[in-house]
Structure 1
Amino acid sequence: MRQVTAESVYENFTQLETDERAKFFALLAAPSAQDKNFSHDQVFGHLAKEEFTAQDAAEYLGISISTFRRHVAHGRIKASSEMGRNQLFSTRDLKAFKRSLHNVKASGMTAAD
């Protein structure tokens, strides 16, 4: 029998459609999982050194791809690497940018152009 590893679960997770990913997180939030005190690192620690495509980064930030591209064009978000013609964005940079979006919203300003 093949052993299930965090890497194999993650690999399968990355191949899910967006709706299925949302269902996965809904299952984690279900009462059966709530009695287990998962830390942020236990759930997302494997992503610390990952890179996201523009589409995945936009989803993570909760913004449209066109808004994400505007942020990139204005230099607010920088690609950490490129694979062919695709730009990849680091988790660390995206987390910092998400915090800055939250801080801007909290102060009553907008992050829109």
Structure 2
Amino acid sequence: MASAKIRKGDSVVVLSGRDKGRTGTVAQVLPKEGKIVVEGVNVVARHRKPSQQNPQGGIDRFPAPMPVSKVALADPKDGKPTRVRFEEKDGKKVRVAVKSGETIDG
């Protein structure tokens, strides 16, 4: 299996949609669906009826999954969006930001 270009804990920038330009940290990666969950981005509201577990009911707000193609990794140097390439350093496969050449991990 190929290594993922965006992983849990990475800082990403949203490229399109209502949250365009916002940055956040990846909370969850859903590779089978090709989606990710980013903290504080793509927040949706669900109106919940009162139930046994939640007798108050109310409005739940939480980040919904969004397509991976709508985000780009934030460059470690300046925080702007960048693409990712893989290089081998010291016998290890590491991710490198295309814009600045900075190593992202490893």
TM-score (norm 2): 0.26
- More strand per residue: 2
Which structure has the greater CA radius of gyration?
2
TM-score (norm 1): 0.25
